[in-house]
Amino acid sequence: MFKKIISKFKQEENNKPKENVEKDESELTEIESEEIKLENKDEETVEEINETLSEEEITIDENNEEKKGFFSKLKQGLSKTKQGIADKVDDVLKSYKKVDEDLFEEIEEILITSDVGVNTSLEIIDRLRKGALERKITESEDLKGLLKEIMIEILDKGEDHKLNIATSPTIILVVGVNGVGKTTSIGKIAHNLKQQGKKVLLAAGDTFRAAAIDQLEIWSERVGVDVIKHKEGSDPAAVIFDAIQAAKARKTDVLICDTAGRLHNKKNLMNELGKVVKVADREFPEATREIILVLDATTGQNALQQAKIFKDVTDINGIVLTKLDGTAKGGVVMAISNELNIPVKLVGVGEGINDLQSFNAIDFVNALFGDDK
């Protein structure tokens, strides 16, 4: 019975690639039409955004988020994913006592059904089986340490998990489909860099609607950095061009560029991003270029499919995985790390200004299993 489930998942996953591009394109089209529907509303919502942000600021002060510490915030954010993976693994380890094939299959099922993805789950179990043999592990509870080690290896293959901002200037292009958290993440990154003493400038490259420009402007005011913007509907490449000239004149350390997410098919995406990247390369060759893809963890395996499309279109240097808080689908981070070979650099664990953390595989796995740092 269980073998059947696995082969069904496997079949689905193997059938995916061709369908996916089409499926994702149609999903992007859906997203776009939704966006058009929302367009009129957007004008009214600027004030609402303003209100929400100032309310949020008050909450941050009152709660004194920073006191909680990054690790406990991560732990808290991952609590639903923990219920779906670590708690279930703990339960089966307790119920089995001795290591046998059925136990491996049960763990495999837990991983597959919690967004770790079929390929990555099978790889984890394969390594778990071999590792248990090598280390002569016979008691089921002793498997947990090995499982954690394997997960850490999957999440950290020795790539650089830090934003590449050591040398100035740096230009960061932030890409991703709409609603994933690009603008919010830009605000959080800008805040963090400013705290590190960096001179930051923002570029409102999402010119699709006025509210997008306003939202970035609100973040810029909040953080205390400037933003270069054009009118709604103008050419994003022209905004980036102007922002680069401003960054040069102002001796900016890091220029962070927002981009539109309403790119309804692969060709469109390629044209739009291609133009922006070309301007960055031509006008700012002295700058280190980072292209950061923002993915929404709550979309689970769909985030992985989005990443595959973006990876085909442009060179992605790193991933920001947002909204890990409150989702049970955090296991997708393992599929992303394993299947894409792009390092996860930052994770979003809330809407507040301090709720974006550097990704650390050991902390992540410990938080996932509810263990201490």
Ligand X SMILES: Nc1nc2c(ncn2[C@@H]2O[C@H](COP(=O)(O)OP(=O)(O)OP(=O)(O)O)[C@@H](O)[C@H]2O)c(=O)[nH]1
Q: What 3-state DSSP class applies to 227?
A: strand
Indicate the DSSP class of residue 23. H
| Piece of the chain touching ligand X by CB under 6 A; list 63-71, 177-185, 193-201, 230-238 | 177-185
Residue 299 lies near ligand X (rule: CB under 6 A) = no
Query: Contacts with ligand X in 221-280 (CB under 6 A)?
Result: 261
Query: Pick from 84, 117, 169, 181: which binds ligand X (CB under 6 A)?
Result: 181
Query: Pick from 90, 127, 351, 358: which binds ligand X (CB under 6 A)?
Result: 351
Q: Which is nearer to ligand X, 106 or 206 (CB)?
A: 206
Query: Pick from 73, 182, 191, 345: which binds ligand X (CB under 6 A)?
Result: 182
Query: Pick from 322, 357, 360, 366: which binds ligand X (CB under 6 A)?
Result: 322
Residue 348 lies near ligand X (rule: CB under 6 A) = yes
Q: Which is nearer to Mg ion, 203 or 367 (CB)?
A: 203
Cα 121 from Cα 339, distance rounded (Å): 11
Strand ranges of the sheet holding 254-258, from the earlier edge strand across to the other edge: 226-228, 200-203, 254-258, 170-175, 288-296, 318-322, 344-348, 356-358
CB of 284 to ligand X, least distance (A): 23
Query: Pick from 20, 81, 183, 357: which binds Mg ion (CB under 5 A)?
Result: 183
Q: Which is nearer to Mg ion, 118 or 216 (CB)?
A: 216
Residue 357 lies near Mg ion (rule: CB under 5 A) = no
* Angle of the 143-155 helix axis to the 101-112 helix axis, nearest 10: 40
Partner whose footprint covers residue 357, from Mg ion, ligand X, none (CB < 5 to 8 Å by kind): none
Strand partners, 357: 347
| Piece of the chain touching ligand X by CB under 6 A; list 173-181, 235-243, 245-253, 264-272 | 173-181
Q: Which is nearer to Mg ion, 49 or 152 (CB)?
A: 49
CB of 258 to Mg ion, least distance (A): 6
Indicate the DSSP class of residue 250. H
Query: Pick from 73, 88, 161, 323: which binds ligand X (CB under 6 A)?
Result: 323
| Residue facing ligand X at closest CB distance | 348
Query: Binding marks (x or -) toward ligand X, 194..213, rule CB under 6 A?
Result: ------------x-----x-
Distances (CA, A) of 47 to 43, 158, 208: 8, 45, 18
| Closest to 205 measured CA to CA, from 194, 193, 215 | 215
Reported in sequence order, the residue ranges of the chain that DSSP labels E, i.e. its strands, are 170-175, 200-203, 226-228, 254-258, 288-296, 318-322, 344-348, 356-358
Partner whose footprint covers residue 348, from ligand X, Mg ion, none (CB < 5 to 8 Å by kind): ligand X
Q: Which is nearer to ligand X, 156 or 355 (CB)?
A: 355
Please work out the total of residues on this chain that contact ligand X, with binding judged by CB under 6 A.
20
Cα 350 from Cα 65, distance rounded (Å): 11
CB of 206 to ligand X, least distance (A): 5
Distances (CA, A) of 38 to 19, 169, 209, 224: 28, 37, 10, 29
Residue 220 lies near Mg ion (rule: CB under 5 A) = no
Residue 185 lies near Mg ion (rule: CB under 5 A) = no
Residue 84 lies near ligand X (rule: CB under 6 A) = no
Residue 306 lies near ligand X (rule: CB under 6 A) = no
147 and 107 Cβ atoms separated by less than 8 Å:
yes
Cβ atoms < 10 Å from Cβ of 309 = 20
* Angle of the 332-340 helix axis to the 301-313 helix axis, nearest 10: 30
Cβ atoms < 10 Å from Cβ of 121 = 26
| Piece of the chain touching Mg ion by CB under 5 A; list 68-76, 157-165, 183-191, 336-344 | 183-191
Give DSSP secondary structure letters for 105-120.
HHHHHHHHTTTS-HHH
Beta strand 254-258 with 226-228 is unpaired
Strand partners, 322: 296
Residue 60 lies near ligand X (rule: CB under 6 A) = no
Q: Which residues in this chain contact ligand X in the complex, by CB under 6 A? A: 176, 178-184, 206, 212, 261, 322-323, 325-326, 348-351, 355
Q: Which residues in this chain contact Mg ion in the complex, by CB under 5 A? A: 182-183, 212
